[in-house]
Amino acid sequence: MFEDRKVKAETYAKAQPLLKPDAIFASNTSTLPINSLAEEFKDQGKFIGIHFFSPVEKMMLVEIILGKNTGDVALATALDYVRVIGKTPIVVNDSRGFFANRCVLRYIAEGNEMFLEGVPPAMIENTAKMAGMPVGPLSLSDEVALDLGLKIMKATEADLGPNSINQDQKKLMVELVEKQGRFGRKNSKGFYDYPEKGKGQKSLWPGLSALQPKQLDPDTLDIEELKQRFLVVQAVEAARTVEDHVITDHARGRCRLDPRLRLCAVHRRHAVLYRLHGHAKSSSSSATSSRPNTARASRRRNCWKTWRRGRDLYGRFPPKKQAA
């Protein structure tokens, strides 16, 4: 299901009659705002974003995106689901691109900009790795899929106008995707050529040089300056997400993406779950029942255990004083 509002709206219309009354509906959209997608859903309180990253089997991070009308039950259910499948959730407010993709797409765009300036593709990839990135921007574009990147550009342009995207970079993607049929790793052709599994290593596509408006001499380029460009755009975009209140007020703790931002929903999650499951003492009728609700009691116990562990690990609440 790609980034197209019309296709998503048709899917919601077909799915809603088949859902149970208490079902939670989650969208894995990459960049489209959850608030706008929720308008096509009858009960917006049960609509939430759960954004996985590619490749899903390797990437641990999952964004949980709150719309303005998303309810606590939807949030708690989404957090439980992500924890059960062994991923690491962070909770963010709604924004085009959310948190991670705003930073990732800015990183990719900087690599594309260098390519159009005439920087050799191999130098772009190597300087990005020297700056601490796990993979170069061109390689990351292939992993994400070039056709998906083009769809994101077109959707952004349709929503916000032509000035919202770099038109030169759009032309580059149109050339690669629509004219050359290079979609990225999924069809073994992108910025790189990918051999069959077990038959060699990927290599930069020789035809890339023909797509560059000009080519700069590598000996005239300052590697440190290229490294700084990658570092600066990432830092600036991360700061903008904070200014735009993408980071939720209740998100605290640790995040594998950037520990300094301390994004984690563990405290909010267990506050919500504890409230949903109930924390009052058992009534007299339940106390005398021959079949106590052990599952509910176990959930309450686990909530408290994790709450205390989170408090001690993340410093969200003052730790208990040690006995002298």
The per-residue pLDDT for 282 is 39
Which CATH number covers residue 41? Answer: 3.40.50.720
Which residues face 197 on adjacent strands? none
Q: How many domains does the chain have?
A: 2
- State how far the Cα of 174 lies from the Cα of 178, in Å rounded to an integer: 5
- 229 and 253 assigned to the same domain: no
Mapped onto helix, strand or coil, the DSSP state of residue 116 is helix
Which residues face 27 on adjacent strands? 49
Instruction: Using DSSP bridges, classify how beta strands 47-51 and 25-27 pair: parallel, antiparallel or unpaired.
Output: parallel
Q: Are 231 and 246 in contact (CB under 8 A)?
A: no
- 186 and 272 assigned to the same domain: no
- 80 and 128 assigned to the same domain: no
- 112 and 229 assigned to the same domain: yes
- 264 and 239 assigned to the same domain: no
Q: In this structure, is the dihedral angle defined by the CA atoms of residues 308, 309, 315 and 320, taken in order, positive or negative? A: positive
The per-residue pLDDT for 42 is 86
121-130 vs 100-117: helix axis angle to the nearest 10?
A: 140
Which CATH number covers residue 206? Answer: 1.10.1040.50
Domain finish residue from 199, 219, 243: 243
- 130 and 13 assigned to the same domain: no
Q: In this structure, is the dihedral angle defined by the CA atoms of residues 116, 120, 125 and 127, taken in order, positive or negative? A: negative
The per-residue pLDDT for 285 is 40
- 230 and 111 assigned to the same domain: yes
Amino acid at 95: S
**How much is the CA Rg of the chain, to the nearest whole Å?**
23
Which stretches in the chain have pLDDT values below 50?
250-274, 279-292, 313-320, 324
Q: Quick check: is 324 in a domain?
A: no
Q: Specify the DSSP class assigned to residue 85.
A: T
The per-residue pLDDT for 299 is 58
- State how far the Cα of 8 lies from the Cα of 23, in Å rounded to an integer: 18
The per-residue pLDDT for 126 is 94
- 117 and 89 assigned to the same domain: no
Q: Which domain holds residue 197?
A: 100-243
Q: Which residues are identified as catalytic? A: 51
Domain finish residue from 214, 243, 272: 243
- 105 and 159 assigned to the same domain: yes
- 191 and 80 assigned to the same domain: no
- State how far the Cα of 208 lies from the Cα of 189, in Å rounded to an integer: 12
Q: Quick check: is 323 in a domain?
A: no
pTM of the model: 0.67
- 148 and 279 assigned to the same domain: no
Q: What is the mean pLDDT of the chain?
A: 79
